[in-house]
Amino acid sequence: MRVTERLFRQGIVASVLVIGCLIWAAGSGEAKNFKPRKSRDVAERVDRLITKDLQESEVTIAPSVSDEDFLRRVTFDLTGTLPTPRDITLFGLDPHPKKRARAIDRLIASQEFGANWARYWRDVIFSRATDVRSRMMIDVFERWMTSQLNEGASWDQITRELLTATGNVRESGETALVFAHQGQPEEIAAETSRIFLGIQIQCANCHDHPTDEWKREQFHQLAAFFPRIRVRRVRDSMPRTFEVVSFNRPDSANPRAGVGQFRQNPEKLMRLLDQNNDGKLTQDEVKKRKRLSRVFKRLLKIGDTNNDMGLTVAELKKLPPPNVNRRAYSEYFMPNLDDPTSKGTRIDPVFFVAGQTPEVGLTDEARREQLSQYITSRDNPWFAKAFVNRMWAELLGEGFTMPVDDMGPERDVAFEAVFDALSEGFVGSGYDVKWLIRTIVNTEAYQRQIRPVDSVGDGDQFAAAIPTRLRSDQLFNALFRVLGVGEPKGRSPRRRGYFGRGGPRAAFALLFGYDPSTPQSDLTGTVPQALFLMNSPVINNRVKAKGNTPLAKLLRDYSDDEDVLAELYLLVLAREPSENELKICSEHIAATENRGAAFEDILWSLINSTEFRTKR
């Protein structure tokens, strides 16, 4: 009764009921001729397969979540924030039988959808960046990825852009993967396999894979697709920036190659350059050889043992072996573990999944384009499965195989028929990102109630939802909405935060961010996180019962404490309080004898609750 009275005061019940009845009537007439889209067909098939397996295992299946919990869950997952109290109220009153599917379509069509998932992929790529300079381009990547996702770019298109990118890193967001790893072939190969194939072949960098079939040579054959990438600074640029370029010069033109040959054959060097036949080389004698002249002074410092400003054959032979810089070559050389100072073994590119080999003589761009075609081919099952497994795990808390980026051909797979059905549907959709996410969140498996973690057995997977930790951006959005604080649009160059960006979101992500590839079971809260939520001046100032805070407004608008509690719970937790919660809060208000202070305590407690930080 209290909810109805509150809604009438808000002036929305009558209109909602009238509109809802009209929608119901129209919907019931349409239902007879309704033909589910392919996405819905796949979702229903997924549910049939999961239910059948769970029933055969005599596992108790959790019922569907309430409308409040569903809307909170799906709004976080699709747009990265909390639903408003008004959204929750209107959704609960909507009598349409397909209102959940309609809400899903509306959220996927919003601009916040792309921003939310762009931040997810930002964390996937940059959490493991090996080049700290890449932090300068995170904003550029987010904008590019947001645009790609909102405009409906397919996952194979996005993948090809990331793998074949060149250009200024402050202008081209697709250069993120290459720039994050300084253009290093081994690092790019490892991340390419991990992100786009779900296979951690980097474990075969120094030896054959310890748990999978992949050999060391196969890892380096994948790295051999990338030796011609270079990351170089753009001269005289303000602000400072870099660009990803292709290096297609043949190794015979390598300026370091001649020096290495002369070091290995000092007699030949002496015959060619010793003009006065005195048995030693001087700076004047080598000055016409520009490549050698540039390093001759350094060689003198290292090898001129008698300080006569010259180098003899004997002194040349005693020079320490040069540091091998394989980045100086346009082809790839697998390091010799027994002799790290050697050039290594020349390796040609081969795609390890199916053994495809590109044509000889391709440019860097053409070679990387060829690899992207191998990876995104419909004949390559790992590409679709890696994305499906990752999205399912992010949305349901656990994948078909875990961790999501370490599937491997010899890993156990849960509900393999379901995994195959989703993967085949994703391929058939043309790798449509929105299609897959829409399919997953429309399943009954996604919409089940949560169950206490300690009550879930090994055979209970997907029988109930798993409470998962909110990503830093989701928690940040929720916190700012609850506190009624707008995010600053500008940034201060003096303030440095997460990945080098300024502003509160950056600093917050530095504290609460994590690699989304990490299993939920491996994530734990930290003392600094708890202290921030408990002691942050921003939070403590905005939970006050005075001024223009959300709490102060509620206390002015509602004289009944239970009405305030109902609105407060809707604002923070997207649900109404239980009877027991009402009792506990009412007793606290009575005991405090200060209405404002009591509600400040309650709001502070809700913000610091595990439920607020968790997707339930």
pLDDT in tens, 167-195: 999 999 999 999 999 999 999 999 999 99
246 Cβ contact partners less than 8 Å away, ≥ 6 residues apart = 166, 228, 229, 230, 363, 364, 365
Helix (H, G, I), strand (E, B) or coil at 396: helix
Q: What is the pLDDT of residue 16?
A: 41
205 Cβ contact partners less than 8 Å away, ≥ 6 residues apart = 186, 190, 216, 219, 220
**Residues 505-515, buried b or exposed e (16+ Cβ, 10 A)?**
bbbbbeebbee
pLDDT tens-place string over residues 278-308: 888 888 887 777 667 767 777 777 778 888 8
| CA dist., res. 553 & res. 456, Å (int) | 42
Contact of 443 with 40, CB cutoff 8 Å? no
| Positions in the chain whose pLDDT score sits under 70 | 1-37, 249-264, 290-291, 294, 320-328, 452-459, 487-502
Q: What angle do CA 79, 80, 85 make, to 5 degrees?
A: 80
To which H or E segment does residue 59 belong?
none
Contact of 426 with 387, CB cutoff 8 Å? yes
Predicted TM-score of the model (pTM): 0.83
| CA dist., res. 125 & res. 159, Å (int) | 12
pLDDT tens-place string over residues 20-35: 443 344 443 433 333 3
Q: What is the pLDDT of residue 303?
A: 79
Nearest C-alpha neighbor of 178 from the set 156, 198, 195? 195
What backbone torsions phi and psi does residue 448 show, to the nearest 5 degrees? -80, 160
Amino acid at 499: F
What's the order of all strands across the beta sheet hosting 167-168? 167-168, 242-246, 229-233
Phi-psi category of residue 397: left, alpha or beta, with phi > 0 → left and psi -120 to 50 → alpha: left
Between β-strands 614-615 and 468-469, what pairing exists: parallel, antiparallel or unpaired?
Answer: antiparallel
| CA dist., res. 233 & res. 328, Å (int) | 17
| CA dist., res. 180 & res. 192, Å (int) | 12
Q: What is the pLDDT of residue 23?
A: 38
Contacts 24+ apart (CB under 8 A), 420-428: 421/42, 421/45, 421/46, 421/49, 422/42, 422/46, 422/388, 422/392, 423/381, 423/384, 423/385, 423/388, 424/384, 425/38, 425/39, 425/42, 426/384, 426/387, 426/388, 427/378, 427/384, 428/38
Q: What is the pLDDT of residue 607?
A: 96
Q: What ranges do the domains of the chain cover?
A: 257-317, 467-616
Nearest C-alpha neighbor of 501 from the set 154, 143, 234? 143
User: What CATH code would you report for 257-317?
Assistant: 1.10.238
Alpha-carbon dihedral of residues 255, 250, 133, 122, nearest 10 degrees? -170
Nearest C-alpha neighbor of 26 from the set 88, 94, 87, 108? 94
Contact of 418 with 42, CB cutoff 8 Å? no
